[in-house]
């Protein structure tokens, strides 16, 4: 998966307008689940270890590298990404 396609997927999660839908654009989704607080698991840049950043805001997800990225709801642990 390329970075570009990942960004397009992420844009969908954030409620960006999509060309493949006729529905009117909704406001940006700030809380995809519960309170919008998430735990973000990601792989290190120079190693294969998994790191977890706890209690981040959902909009912060876009600042993380897409490789190996996993995002979970901090409240119900549902996987969001």
Both tokens of 53, joined, read: 């950043």
Q: Which is nearer to Zn ion, 19 or 55 (CB)?
A: 55
The answer to whether residue 76 forms part of the interface with Zn ion (CB under 5 A) is yes
The answer to whether residue 73 forms part of the interface with Zn ion (CB under 5 A) is yes
C-alpha to C-alpha distance for 4 and 38, rounded to whole angstroms? 23
The answer to whether residue 33 forms part of the interface with Zn ion (CB under 5 A) is yes
Q: Tell me the closest approach of the beta carbon of residue 28 to Zn ion, in angstroms.
A: 18
Q: CB 7: neighbour CB atoms within 10 A?
A: 13
User: Which run of H or E residues covers position 5?
Assistant: helix 3-13
Residues of this chain that bind Zn ion (CB under 5 A): 33-34, 73, 75-76, 78
């Amino acid at each position: 998966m390329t970075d570009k396609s990942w960004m397009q997927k992420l844009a969908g999660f954030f409620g960006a307008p999509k060309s493949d839908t006729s529905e009117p654009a909704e406001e940006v989704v700030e809380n995809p689940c519960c309170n919008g607080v998430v735990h973000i698991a990601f792989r290190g840049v120079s190693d294969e270890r998994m790191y977890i950043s706890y209690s981040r805001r959902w909009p912060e997800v876009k600042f993380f590298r897409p490789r190996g990225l996993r995002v979970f709801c901090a409240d119900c642990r549902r996987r969001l990404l």
